[in-house]
Amino acid sequence: MKKACVMGHPIAHSRSPMIHGYWLKALGIAGGYEIRDLKPEEFVPFISNLGGNGYVGGNVSLPHKEAAYRTVAARDAAAEAVGAVNTLWLEDGKLMGGNSDVHGFIANLDDRAPGWNVPGCKVVILGAGGASRSAVYAFRQRGVEVHVVNRTLARAQELARRFGASAHEWNDLAKLLSQADVLVNCTSLGMQGKDPLEIDLSPLKKSAVVYDIIYVPLETAILAQARKRGHRTVDGLGMLLQQAGFGFRKWFGGDPRVTPELRQLVEADIVAKTPK
């Protein structure tokens, strides 16, 4: 029986086993998907013998995505570009690394806000960490104009240089919002247990799409504000679901689809476990 796993630290609350378990069952594939909590010093030895440990591949979560990037024998273009690997598989005994967050990020936007890429589309991305890298790269691949806004300007500038975007401080936000067609939150603000993201969306055009990659809670304060103002909104759960199929196809084959039933299953779990 083929087995894959999700590796992280901490990782107990990962929804990936639920997603892959759903597809294994739905597609009638005899496989397994497990959680492996690995400390930083355990991670590289573990993936260096992934097959010997019983796995055909796996997902890599925080804090191991850069270590995975450094360790694999070869990487796909997305992993190469963003400097992080979140999916591992074996090819002729060699450890391969990919980045499905890039695909998941943009596929979710295509799915939930079709037509977002209007002529001359301008995107404003809040944050310049790992999550932001995937978003900036994905947008630039689509030829979209990207503005990165970050508390630490130097990080935004580094991203801007690397991918061909422009970098700004928070003070510039109101002006940028007035020109934005898509606004994306890639900071950790608004996540359960973190400070809220407090921005005023009133400069936004009515047609602008607001996307938050956070999925706990499902509807962050910024998405609620956007919904009330009549904007199309996109949440982070779709990104998690859309990125998962990439690994599944590599490990188990078949045609894993993001169905309303799958979304409902994961949504119910998040709602049940998120304090009001």
Name the site residues for ligand ATR (rule: CB under 6 A).
127-132, 150-152, 155, 186-189, 195
Question: CA–CA separation, 153 vs 163, rounded Å?
Answer: 15
Q: Cis omega (within 30 of 0) on the bond before 63?
A: yes
53 C-beta neighbours (distance < 10 Å), count: 14
CA dist list (Å): 141 to 44, 60, 163, 171, 183:
31, 23, 9, 28, 17
Active site (annotated) includes residue 65: yes
| CB of 156 vs ligand ATR, minimal distance in Å | 8
Q: Hey, which residues does 58 pair with through a beta bridge?
A: 5, 88
The smaller minimum CB distance to ligand ATR, of residues 117 and 150, is found at 150
The smaller minimum CB distance to ligand ATR, of residues 31 and 127, is found at 127
Nearest residue to 184 via CA among 217, 152, 149, 210: 210
| CB of 60 vs ligand ATR, minimal distance in Å | 13
The smaller minimum CB distance to ligand ATR, of residues 4 and 128, is found at 128
Sign of the dihedral through C-alpha 59, 67, 93, 80: positive
| CB of 133 vs ligand ATR, minimal distance in Å | 8
Q: What is the DSSP letter of 198?
A: -
| CB of 80 vs ligand ATR, minimal distance in Å | 18
| CB of 186 vs ligand ATR, minimal distance in Å | 6
CA dist list (Å): 115 to 43, 227, 232:
41, 18, 11
The smaller minimum CB distance to ligand ATR, of residues 45 and 196, is found at 196
Element spanning 2, H or E: strand 2-8
Tell me which residue has its CB nearest to ligand ATR. 129
**Which residue in 3, 25, 39, 65 is the catalytic one?**
65
| CB of 213 vs ligand ATR, minimal distance in Å | 9
The smaller minimum CB distance to ligand ATR, of residues 97 and 127, is found at 127
Helix, strand, or coil (residue 18) = helix
The smaller minimum CB distance to ligand ATR, of residues 27 and 201, is found at 201
Element spanning 251, H or E: helix 237-252
Element spanning 31, H or E: strand 31-37
| Whether the Cβ atoms of residue 183 and residue 124 lie closer than 8 Å to each other | yes
Element spanning 211, H or E: strand 209-212
Cα dihedral angle (105, 170, 210, 175), rounded to 10 degrees? Answer: -130
User: Which residues form the catalytic set?
Assistant: 65
